[in-house]
Amino acid sequence: MAKSYYMPKDDNGKVALLDQLATRLPIYADALEISPADIAALQADATALRYTLNAYNIIQGNARLWTAYKNLLRDGGAGTGAFPPAANLPAPVPTVTPGIIPRVTALIARIKTARNYTEAIGQDLAIVGSTQVVDPDGWKPIIDISVRAGRPVIQWSKGGADSIEIWADRGDDKGLAFYTITTDPNFTDASPTPGNSALWKYKAIYRLRDEQVGSWSDVISIAIGG
């Protein structure tokens, strides 16, 4: 089964990952051929990023106090008018070279290619993503439509599908019928446009491994021609 990317998207998650690595990687350092210098650099990066995130949060909170004070001083209102306190930061930690996340991802790549690396070690180090369960039966495309140079452009998000199957109704009393299968997320309908205005309708369904999957989209429509 496919796994999600191990790296968290938010800063708090990234800091937590570095803390986990800084704490647990020394246990496996010899087996994974990670040097003391690598461990020291990782721990310095973890400490620096944790400090910087904490300082950022303190400064952000203090900024809100000063914004309120600035507005009070400018516009008046309830309040004492006293200066808010300045941000009180702990003594700074030693600085590190910018690029902490690129460094840790390069280190993790080395870890995962080490001769003695195992899935269990990866789980302990929190560098294995969670298993993604794909259920195409629940897929339903959301399609949108616009007009470009007089032609309908059908927009859709691919997600985990291979392609999308589009059916069209040209306003000719024939109803919706198969039109095309495409992988283009901004598909232009190049069919000849009518001389008189007509209401064209579309619906679509995802395809995976050359088969329809999930449910049909809602029907959308647009006026064409005229």
**CATH code for the domain of 190:** 2.60.40.10
Q: Nearest 5°: phi and psi at 38?
A: -65, -45
Same domain, residue pair 24 and 103: yes
Among residues 192, 201, 197, 145, the alpha carbon closest in space to that of 169 is found at: 201
Pick from 72, 92, 125: which residue ends a domain?
A: 125
**Least confident interval from 26-35, 40-49, 127-136, 209-218:** 127-136
For residue 211, which amino acid is it?
A: E
Helix (H, G, I), strand (E, B) or coil at 33: coil
- Of the residues 125, 149, 179, the one at which a domain ends: 125
Average pLDDT over every residue of 2-19: 88
pLDDT in tens, 167-180: 999 988 899 999 99
18-22, 74-78, 161-165: which range is least confident on average? 74-78
* Residue 167 structural domain: 137-224
Supply the pLDDT for residue 76: 87
What is residue 93's predicted lDDT score, i.e. its pLDDT? 76
pLDDT tens digits, residue range 155-167?
A: 999 888 999 999 9
Residue 209 inside a domain? The answer is yes
Q: Give the pLDDT band (50/70/90) at residue 31.
A: very high
The continuous run of DSSP H or E covering 208 comes out as strand 198-208
Looking at the fold, whether 117 and 193 belong to one and the same domain comes out as no
- Select from 207, 197, 203, 128 the least CA-distant residue to 162: 207
Identify whether residues 108 and 175 lie together within a single domain.
no
> What distance in Å separates the CA atoms of residue 126 and residue 113, rounded to the nearest whole number?
16
Instruction: Please report whether residue 48 resides in a domain.
Output: yes
Q: What is the pLDDT of residue 2?
A: 57
Contacts of 118 (CB under 8 A, 6+ apart): none
Closest among 173, 174, 179 to 143, alpha carbons compared: 179
Residue 17: name the closest of 142, 79, 101 by CA: 101
User: Which residues are paired to 208 by β-bridges?
Assistant: 211
Are 94 and 154 in the same domain? no
Q: Are residues 121 and 24 in the same domain?
A: yes
The answer to whether residues 126 and 145 touch, using CB atoms and an 8 Å cutoff, is no
CA angle 184, 185, 189 (to 5 degrees): 65
In this predicted model, what pLDDT tens digit does every residue of 109-157 receive, in sequence order? 999 999 999 999 999 999 998 765 678 889 999 999 999 988 999 999 9
What single-letter amino acid sits at 122? G
pTM for this structure?
0.57
Measured CA to CA, the distance from residue 181 to residue 171 in angstroms comes to 21
pLDDT of residue 220: 95
Same domain, residue pair 196 and 115: no
